[in-house]
Amino acid sequence: MASFSQQTYAQRAEQHTHPLVKRLFAIMERKKTNLSLAADVSSKAELLDLADKVGPYICILKTHVDIIADFDAHLAESLAALAEKHDFLIFEDRKFADIGNTVKLQYGGGIYRIADWAHITNCHTVPGEGIIQGLAEVGESGGRGLLLLAEMSSKGMLATGAYTEKTVEMAVRNSFVIGFIGSRRFTEDRDLLTMTPGVGLHASGDALGQQYRTPDAIVTANGSDVIIVGRAIYGPDKDPVAEALRYQEAGWNAYLKRLQH
């Protein structure tokens, strides 16, 4: 059987068994985008303004609500309204990393109530498979999905080798898991997404160890499904709409090139 990465998003949407992934692939095909915006801003106003401007060009909005200084329940409602308006999903990049019972409380409760509004979240697998089971007890019945951190984009990261292999094994056998954070396609045992951070139109890095790779390297060569881009779109002296369009086009063209290989 051909790799899942050699199939179109439309074909994968038709065949997939997870409703949330079917919905995501349909959005990607409909909007001709595999771009996720990493909206690492610190106020409600900034986040909502950015989401509204860039929403037409993305398939997923990635948030870090714990850096929003003025977070309240109204923000979650406003994000949900923008997701409906612009046809994208919301991914809260929480990176849960505790035992199953604790993450249940963190995911379903607290001041953020992430499971109520985020279609997707993610976790480390350091605590073992119980973290997946704990999160699934909260999110699975609501149609949510979980990504496992198989790799990270920072220099010197420790998620490699046997750790990554064990993470992939956990993903394959847990239906609540819909994919990975990583730089490549990890398995053909299930159609599991890969979302890749640290993507830039020019390979480089920053002073804190972030490493950037191009859409062609990540999507065409490595078989990743969604590129995650942040400061390159909305950083200083950037026009977020113009930059989102550039990355939407670059990511989509990289996907079309992959299909031709």
Q: Helix-strand-coil percent breakdown of the chain, rounded to 5?
A: 50, 15, 35
Helix (H, G, I), strand (E, B) or coil at 164: helix
C-alpha distances in Å from residue 202, one per residue of 16, 199, 220, 232:
33, 8, 15, 10
In the numeric block, the tokens 């976790």 are attached to 123
Helix (H, G, I), strand (E, B) or coil at 68: coil
Q: For the residues of 190-241, what is the DSSP string, one character each?
A: S--EEEE-SB-SS--B-TTSBB-B-HIIIIIIT--SEEEE-HHHHSTT--HH
Report how far Cα 85 is from the mean position of its chain's Cα atoms.
19
Q: Residue 141, Cβ neighbours under 10 Å: how many?
A: 9
Amino acid at position 120, single letter: I
Which letter does DSSP use for residue 56 in this model? G
Asked if 95 is an active-site residue, the reply is yes
Nearest to 143 by CA among 18, 27, 36, 59: 18
C-alpha distances in Å from residue 253, one per residue of 33, 135, 182, 217, 258:
9, 35, 20, 12, 9
Q: Which residue is catalytic, options 22, 32, 53, 95?
A: 95
Residues classed as catalytic: 95
